[in-house]
Amino acid sequence: MPSLVSHKSFASFDFEGVRIDGATAGMSGVRFGYLQDARGDRIKIETPAMRIAWNAEPRTPHNQPDASIGARLALSFGGMESEGGQRVKAFHDFLFKMDDRVLALVKEKKGALWAKAMPDAKIDSVYVPSVKEPSDPKYDQTFAAKIPLEDNPSPASDSPRDLKTMKISVFNTAKKAISPTECKAGCLASAIVEASYIWCAPGMVGVTWTVRSVLVKPRKPERTFQFTDVEGFESDGSGASSTVVSGDKNKKRRLNGTGDEAAGARDSTGDEAEAGSPDY
């Protein structure tokens, strides 16, 4: 059974023992190499507890509705420099050292990983690091791992969230299995991820990290009554009309902006709240 690398062993991990086990050809000129540790096992990591950067769910890239559906678990490095952030910082450093080792291996094996000659400088320029830089500097760096998906046999709609389901085990802090949909932005989570393979395309190369299981502390629903303007409901002080007008075939309800004219309004937990999420 592969050993699990965690904050207890990040510093002592044998990076020099990491190697590429063979190379296989994929579609569109992409080739894959499989990573092994010094013992010949797959590299599995237990991340420290980190905040989820955006909701983990099946989706297509922004403005690309016809693209393939994918899902990522993105963990934020926010706060790693603060007191108590040593474990997150150790994970951050581990990923950079792993990337350095992978880059060295890719250059060493480039003849098998690319059909055409690839200069070392070119490989450096197209390498996709495991720590993702945000497109907007107001967001923190992230580590985004791939979530395996499977077809939903009875989707309720043609939305990516209905067409695919996330094929991972998710547990709460009471060690009980819960739905993968509980992996929401802002929740504290730790994941077991595997360095599945290196992918090498003519214009891009990097490591695919795949999620195997997640430990998450779900958000608690708000159960405390906090509203102060109850009188407005009693006197209808908003001026809104709740009159229902009956017609021969249709009934129309006017609720001062809560009808069809507001149907396009987005929930604050939707894409506009996830502007820092990358395309994939």
* pLDDT score, position 252: 43
pLDDT tens per residue across span 129-175: 999 999 898 999 999 999 999 998 888 888 888 889 999 999 999 99
CA neighbor of 214 nearest in space, from 232, 238, 239, 187: 187
CA neighbor of 139 nearest in space, from 97, 203, 185: 185
pLDDT tens per residue across span 192-228: 999 989 999 888 999 999 999 999 999 887 788 888 8
Average pLDDT over residues 228-242: 67
pLDDT tens per residue across span 7-53: 999 999 999 999 998 878 776 678 889 999 999 999 999 999 999 99
Average pLDDT over residues 56-60: 92
The yes/no answer on whether domain 4-223 falls in CATH 3.90.1170.50 is no
10: CB partners within 8 A, 6+ apart: 90, 91, 93, 94
Average pLDDT over residues 57-64: 82
Q: Look at the block and give the residue holding tokens 């990337």.
A: 99
* pLDDT score, position 278: 47
* pLDDT of 272 over the 50 cut: no
Q: Identify the burial level of 274 via C-beta atoms within 10 angstroms of its C-beta, where 0-12 means exposed, 13-18 middle and 19 or more buried.
A: middle
* pLDDT score, position 25: 76
Residue 60 and residue 58: Cα distance in Å, rounded? 7
pLDDT tens per residue across span 254-268: 334 444 433 333 333
* pLDDT of 270 over the 70 cut: no
Question: Other CB atoms closer than 10 Å to residue 231's CB: what's the count?
Answer: 8
Average pLDDT over residues 59-79: 86
Residue 170 and residue 181: Cα distance in Å, rounded? 9
* pLDDT score, position 268: 36
What count of residues does the chain have?
Answer: 280
* pLDDT score, position 253: 41
Choice between 279 and 210, residue whose per-residue pLDDT is larger: 210
45: CB partners within 8 A, 6+ apart: 4, 5, 6, 91, 94, 192, 193, 194, 195, 209
Choice between 117 and 55, residue whose per-residue pLDDT is larger: 55
* pLDDT of 235 over the 70 cut: no
Domain boundaries of the chain, sorted by first residue: 4-223
Residue 82 and residue 85: Cα distance in Å, rounded? 5
Q: What is the mean pLDDT of the chain?
A: 83
Q: Identify the burial level of 221 via C-beta atoms within 10 angstroms of its C-beta, where 0-12 means exposed, 13-18 middle and 19 or more buried.
A: exposed
Cα end-to-end distance, the chain, whole Å:
31
Contact present, 129 and 206 (Cβ < 8 Å)? yes
What tokens does 68 get? 């393939």
* pLDDT of 251 over the 80 cut: no
Residue 53 and residue 48: Cα distance in Å, rounded? 14
DSSP state for residue 39 in the 8-state scheme:
T
